[in-house]
Amino acid sequence: MARDLRPKPGGSPSPHRAEEEVEDDPFNPVDNDPSALDDLTHAEFIAIYRDASDNIRFAKEQMWRSLLYFSAGAIAVTGYGVVTKWSDPQLSQYLLVIIWLCSILTVLIILSLQWWQSAEHQKIAFVTAKWSSFATAARRRKSKGMSDVQRYGMLAAMILYLELVTIAVTRIFTVQY
């Protein structure tokens, strides 16, 4: 029932505003202004959009895999130390250095993947700016600022996790000596 009361894009204005001029809201355009792109260029833009979207999904997946691989490595190294009861102090110190190096490398990998995602988002923004007004309105429904807050908040959480795990493993190793 509430859907019936909502104005529809391109539809007639509500009965309460029949005499008034209908405003053209950028989030809900009344008329669709088609893109000025020819069919071949439009197809190329769609291919670029899909490629950028696939790249973003791939980069996100790689970020999570990097975190998973680091976690598995930290668990394995700590488990080895616990099982062997830290019998070889030199090997334990060597493994601790490896954990720190892996932690730093994982942070760098995650940051570079985040940078790549940002470049792909810019590519998508450029391509979709050339599309119709309805497509532009649909893309504007999601706030870029909020997306950035979510994306960089998750990045900060990932980096914080990596460093806290590294510190925890360091504490476990150093308590033994």
User: Tens digit of pLDDT for each residue in 95-124?
Assistant: 999 999 999 999 999 999 999 999 999 999
Q: Is residue 41 part of a domain?
A: yes
Mean confidence (pLDDT) of the chain: 83
Q: Is residue 63 part of a domain?
A: yes
Q: Is residue 140 part of a domain?
A: yes
Q: Is residue 70 part of a domain?
A: yes
- What DSSP state is assigned to residue 11? S
pLDDT score at 174? 81
Res. 2: pLDDT tops 50: no
**Global pTM?**
0.74
Res. 23: pLDDT tops 90: no
CA dihedral defined by 63, 64, 67, 73, rounded to 10 degrees? -120
Q: Is residue 55 part of a domain?
A: yes
**In this structure, what token pair is assigned to residue 29?**
């355009």
Res. 170: pLDDT tops 60: yes
pLDDT score at 65? 98
Judge contact between 81 and 92, C-beta under 8 A.
yes
* Residue bearing the bigger pLDDT, 165 or 16: 165
Q: Is residue 118 part of a domain?
A: yes
Range of the domain at 141: 36-175
Instruction: Please tell me the total count of domains within the chain.
Output: 1
| Rounded Cα gap, residues 137 and 29, in angstroms | 7
* 131 CB-near residues (< 8 Å, 6+ apart): 35, 37, 45
- Average pLDDT on 71-81 reads 93
Query: Residue 29: is it exposed, middle or buried by C-beta count within 10 angstroms (0-12/13-18/19+)?
Result: middle
Q: Is residue 5 part of a domain?
A: no
Q: How many C-beta neighbours within 10 Å does residue 51 have?
A: 14
Res. 74: pLDDT tops 50: yes
Q: Is residue 77 part of a domain?
A: yes
**Which whole-number Å values give the CA distances from 8 to 15, 26, 92, in the listed order?**
13, 13, 67
